[in-house]
Structure 1
Amino acid sequence: MKRPGKKVATDRSFVVALSRGLDVLRAFQPNDGLLGNQEIAARTKLPKPTVSRLTYTLTKLGYLTPVPRFEKYQLAPSAMALGYAALANLGVRHLSEPFREEVMRETGGAVAVGGRDRHSMIYFGQSRNGLTLGVQLDVGSRIPIATTAMGRAYIWALPDDERASLLRDLRDHYGSRWARMRDGIERSGETVARYGFTISAGEWQDDVHAVGVALKLNDGTGPYAFNCGAPAFRFTEDRLRSDIGPRLVAMVRNIEAALGGVTMPQSKKEEGKRVRPGGKVARVVEGIR
């Protein structure tokens, strides 16, 4: 987990102690159960003595529950209440559910909606059934932005300046692994320009293929992004392009209309236009090397 940058840390309005406390809470993942100070320190990149003070304080405030037998902690109901309150306020989660369920039934794929959390997308709505055994993610699960269809759809839905900032952040975060990821992001930009959706075919998990589509609203929130994925043998790349992707695009456009979002339909000429390598998409990604 990345610590606050120098500019943020020297901002007089920025409360570093609060940031670190939230980092500790963020260290807990859906399937973790219990975490000790050593594990939290490794995930947050904070010194262990600092983590010890933070876990003590969060315990006193009711956000962590200590488990003395194992010298570890688990999230307490007060922390979980924050998450449930946030979910309750996400109208897109509730309104999109019947749309997600329909696409899930039609395609046999798992359909999720998520938003950004630093270098990840976090699921806040998920629809799946027995046919999607290879996709075991649920509400609260995190997936990387750079290599997933949902994350890439989010990237290309951002305004130019915000996208450039995020790409620089991802470059710094991934270091030597960035070059390959950058190429995948560039390809996804070309796919969005041509088809309206992104593809991740084994680039995050070898056996999972998915498409992603961004949701843009006119109320200042988001963007959010949806994906539809399944085991690779069920969602071939050809099917992603010819069937799953177009279905997800149509679903998101319907959700935008239901939410009162603003959509900008492309002309037939623009829909058929292919962005060639070395064009605008390439320049955008190359510009943050």
Structure 2
Amino acid sequence: MAALEKGLAVIECFDAGHDRLTIAEVARATDLSRAAARRCLLTLARTGYAEFDGKFFRLTPRVLRLGYAWLSSTALPQLVQPFLERLSEETHESSSASLLDGPEIVYIARSAQRRIMSVGLSVGSRLPAFCTSMGRVLLAARDPDDARARILAGRPRALTAKTVTDVDALMTVLARVKEQGHAIVDQELELGLISVAMPLRNSRGETVAAFNLSAQVQHAGRVEIETNFLPRMRAMQGLLQPLIA
């Protein structure tokens, strides 16, 4: 099991900014010894999950099998997708669903009307939970101590001049989100972007995911969100929740 843990840590240290890594770089990123990092990388290369050009290792498309195994084994993304598409068509804005993974949210379904962020978003994309509407909905559903620990683990930093990074202030925001049942994030993730999110709960009342609508502020402000978006989202929430196990 320790070897499996190390191997997964090695896979996770590759990302958009680090698509090629040396043994030394992997060792530093994972806090493994060079020998352990080398063994993991060579094993990944031997099993087809990585390739080696003599200096750098990079992951291969075979790694997608790991993510696809989850997507194919759970009904939630397929269940949510048509509802997101309808919501997106009705509002002419982008709609997404995500889960909480540590201090981040992971997109599991998305219907995009237009590109609303400077970076592209798709299934599998990750964003910090503390400054996203879906992240705040998911954090608000956790025990406050757990939510605080996740925020601290993510080392919150300001992404815009409006980003709230103080942990105590964020905990106050989460308490308000829990009380009102939705979260609105106005240009804290990216300037010009506003987003509103609500929870998706199962039959036991547990929050299992969150969904949102995101728009450019010039297309939708808080008044538009409260008078148009939220009623449509509540209707979708009411239709979806009885279907979630």
Question: 1:9-61 CA distances to partner (integer Å, 9 max, x unpaired)?
Answer: xxxxxx443222212222334x4583213554555454555433321222223
Partner residue of 2:149 out of 148, 168, 178: 168
| Residue of 240, 246, 250 corresponding to 2:225 | 240
- The structural deviation recorded for 1:107 is 1.6
**Residue 41 of structure 2 corresponds to which residue in structure 1?**
55
Q: Aligned to 1:80, which of 55, 64, 67? A: 64
Structure 1 length normalisation: TM-score? 0.71
Q: 1:28 aligns with which of 1, 8, 14?
A: 14
Shift of 1:228: 1.4
1:141 to 125, 132, 157: 125
* Distance in structure 1 (CA, Å) of the matches to 2:139 and 2:170: 12
Q: Is the 8 A contact 2:197 2:212 kept in 1?
A: yes
- DSSP 3-state at the match of 1:36: coil
State the alpha-carbon separation in 1 of the partners of residues 207 and 134 from structure 2: 13
Counting only pairs closer than 5 Å after superposition, residues 1-289 of structure 1 correspond to structure 2 as 15-29=1-15, 31=16, 34-37=19-22, 40-41=26-27, 43-66=29-52, 68=53, 71-77=56-62, 79-130=63-114, 132=116, 136-158=120-142, 160=143, 163-174=144-155, 180-194=166-180, 196-218=181-203, 223-259=208-244
The change in CA–CA distance for 1:110 and 1:99 in structure 2 (over 3 A counts) is: same
Gaps of 5+ in 1: 1-14, 262-289
Decide whether aligned partners of structure 1 residues 208 and 113 sit closer, same or farther in structure 2, where only a CA change above 3 A counts: same
The SS at the match of 2:97 is: strand
Change (3 A) 1:164 1:126: same
Counterpart of 1:130 in 2: which secondary structure?
A: coil
Q: Bigger shift: 55-64 or 172-181?
A: 172-181
Cα 1:251–1:48 change in 2 (3 A) is: farther
135-144 vs 48-57, which deviates more?
48-57
Q: Give me the identity figure in percent.
A: 23
Deviation at 1:240, TM superposition (A): 2.6
Pair 240,184 (structure 1): closer, same or farther in 2 beyond 3 Å: farther
